[in-house]
Amino acid sequence: MEKSKFVNTDAEMEVLGAIFIDNVVMKDIIDILKPEDFYNTAHGIIYSAMCRLYIAGTPIDTTTIVHELGESVSEVGGITYISQLVSSSISASNVLVHCSIVKYKARRRMLYSALNQCLLDVKNTDTKNDELIERLENQFKSIEAYETKRDGKLEETAEKYLMLLEQRCKNQGVTGGYATGLKLIDKFSGGFQKQDLIILAARPSMGKSAVALNMAANMTLDNDLKVAVFQLEMNQLSTFERIIANKAAVPMDRLKKGELLDEEWGEVVYKTNSLQSSGLNIYDDVYSLRDIRSECKRLKLKNGLDVVFVDYLQLIENGSDIESRNENVSKISRGLKLLAKELDITVVALSQLSRAPEARNNHRPHLSDLRDSGSIEQDADMVMFLYRDEYYNGDSEDAGLIEFIIAKHRNGETGTIKARWQGKYQRVVA
């Protein structure tokens, strides 16, 4: 490799010389530069000693550095080379510029190393393509974050909070995250927040897939969001038809039979064209957590991504037949939460419930009913149960209603909201 593209020895010497001239500059660079950022090993050793002295409150000069290095002083060229560094810079005023050069070159070397290792793996191993791609993506993510780690200070956070509070006041509580289009839910919950894992859980036939598709369609068609739906139960065509029934207000049974009025045909075509050009992506052939992560990263990079729906959590493959079902589900729920944080998106995962509600007089679900793993509740920022009383009680006073039971809400209230359930359209009106 051409060394000048990856190393700037003069910049490294300027940084160290500047520290000798004015120890105060250490407060500006100690959180920026690491000893391993220096290509020259001796420079890294000397800088590490400088950091230790600064943290201890000891002045940094030739004598203290030699004392701090002890026997290892010979590894850096002895007192002769240290004296050369002291005289290598005449001013500390440009130290941040020189720091940025050293950091840039270090990051360049990391990129070269990652790509070179991947090339060697492609040539010399039988590692699967998907594994190599995921490994490279993770390395790139690590390199990308290398220069942007937070220092714990609150200036940026304080500014973001005031902007968030202003939005809440203007939008009656729904901000920062994304409105689902179900107004009662949005007002109560404050909308779905970025980096949150939201669990939408119910017993079979409660309508959780329909509710999820309601939200997904509203978000992309009404709010112009980028949404991905990973459908592990239905195929893409069936999923699309459910959304059409909802948005075009044509009963599902008439769509199935092909019995449409002329005006309904027009509405179906219009909604079909709208969905075709929207930011909605529906996948029916992605089954593993690794593949879901890879596809989400690809979408985020290519077109942007705001919200992900997974239907449903217990069907996701984790690539291990050895671990127990609970361990597998725990890893999947944790993986989905980490995906939300890493890509700064909302992940909504549908979940089955155990049979426990069936055995109770009051069939409304509890947090303990989450199937296969208690870690689902732990990882989730919000747990929302669905319940339709008419499913169990034919003469229910709540016929035609669906209950949204918010049983956990890390950043808000818990409680129950009732909405109108229009089964023939696969639609919720709230």
Catalytic residue among 131, 144, 233, 259: 233
Question: Among this protein's residues, is 317 annotated catalytic?
Answer: no
Cα→Cα distances 116→110, 111, 134, 279, 405, Å = 10, 8, 16, 36, 52
Structure tokens at 360: 């109770």
Beta bridge partners of 421: 428
Backbone φ/ψ region at 324: left (φ over 0), alpha (ψ -120 to 50), beta: beta
Largest Cα span, the chain: 94
Residues 346, 337: Cα–Cα separation, whole Å: 9
Using the 8-state DSSP alphabet, how is residue 288 labeled?
Answer: B
Backbone φ and ψ of 211, nearest 5°:
-65, -45
Q: What is the CA radius of gyration of the chain?
A: 29
Nearest to 20 by CA among 69, 83, 73, 67: 83
Q: How many residues does the chain have?
A: 430
Q: Give the residue numbers annotated as catalytic, written as ranges.
A: 233
